[in-house]
Amino acid sequence: MDKWIINRGDKEMKRWMYFILFIFLLAMGALIGTKQTSLFQEHEVRGAIDIGSGTTNLKVAKIDPKTNKIISILYEKTVPVGYQKQLEQSTNHRFDDQVMQEGIASIKQLKELAADHHASKVVAIATAAFREAANGKEFAQEIKKQTGVQVRVIDQDEEGILAFRGAIALTTVQPEQAVVWDIGGGSMQFTTLSPEGTYLIEHGKLASIPFRNAIIEQIENKELTQDSSPNPMNESQMQAALEYASKKAEQTAPFFKEKLLQPTTQVLAVGNLFNLGIKPLVEKDPIMTSGNKKSGKTVMHESQLIEALTHLKDRSDAQLSEFSMPEIAVSNPLLVAGYMQGLHIHHVEFVRVNNADGALTYPAYWTN
């Protein structure tokens, strides 16, 4: 009898122990779940649209709102819209109805794609073409009216700052050692930090479309109204274009010229011209490919670009059909090579960012 009572007592005690353990595990699970929920709420999804002179770029990213740092890129999309090209062909330096319709359609499309990827807010920035167009600000307001997306027409300095912020966020380069180089359809920026830590921006003397036009008019002696492409270019024309760009590069501010000569300086090449135009051109070089696999970086030396240019000599637009924009497929690498020669830039590191990356983390764009 006593043994039975003891066994029964043991069983009751075990039941209580199991019950207490169950309650404990339930409470811990709820606590962990609360913490996980809290962790998942420690981010927001943002969408940024970079309206460039020739392409419009969307990036959707998960952002830490406390630090304004990118946690991960969720989606990206590029749509070609030839704002700068249309401006160059206009007689009144205004966006025409066709390019504006294309532009509004692109913003609507990208806004929907951002929503598909759960962006809680979308901002848009516009650069050189909108600054130059007589109706640029008016068109930005029309985009807001038809799409609900506010377009900020930013100046060249702010453009440089966004490129710098985006590049530094995705590399291990120390900010004070970096010079971020961005070439667009209508503008060029070099951005770095002063010894005091403030942004310094150098406005380049050339850009993609103005340089192409200079080749057509000043080197080939042709009329822009009749020829929108400098191709095919022979060896002497290519050499003249290199020298033209190099001389323009020599007009760069002394501070930047001196910093670019310092052995610790690292030049980070950003934007679509570098990453979609120059990088694929030189990646065919087996030496470059091998070296980049070892370093984990995509680095291009001036000599590799010059070698790549030899394969573009005497090729017409039809023979350059593998490029999305054949009319600048030769002039763009000539522009980069000329600047590298003029500023003694021996190599650059490609960083796949555009102004959208910087916009995603720029606090002023996200405070209500």
Q: What is the pLDDT of residues 46-90, one digit of tens each?
A: 999 999 998 999 999 999 988 888 999 999 999 999 999 899 889
Q: Is the peptide bond before 263 cis (omega within 30 degrees of 0)?
A: no
Pairwise CA distance, residues 64 & 115, whole Å: 19
Question: Are 272 and 352 within 8 A, CB to CB?
Answer: no
For 60, the token pair is 């959707």
Structure token pair of residue 293 = 């696999």
Residue-level pLDDT at 284 = 75
Q: Give tens-digit pLDDT for 33-42.
A: 444 434 445 8
Tokens encoding 103:
């532009």
What is the DSSP code (8-state) at residue 227?
-
User: In whole angstroms, how far apart are CA 268 and each of 33, 70, 163, 350?
Assistant: 42, 19, 10, 6
pLDDT at residue 6, as a whole number: 45
Residues 288-335 pLDDT 10s: 544 454 445 789 999 999 999 999 999 999 999 999 889 999 999 999
**Terminal Cα distance for the chain, rounded:** 77
Q: How many CB atoms lie within 10 A of CB 135?
A: 16
Q: Is pLDDT larger for residue 232 or for residue 38? A: 232
C-alpha distances in Å from residue 147, one per residue of 138, 140, 156, 194: 14, 11, 25, 39
In this prediction, what percent of the chain has a pLDDT beyond 90? Answer: 74
Distances (CA, A) of 37 to 42, 66, 114, 198: 9, 17, 23, 38
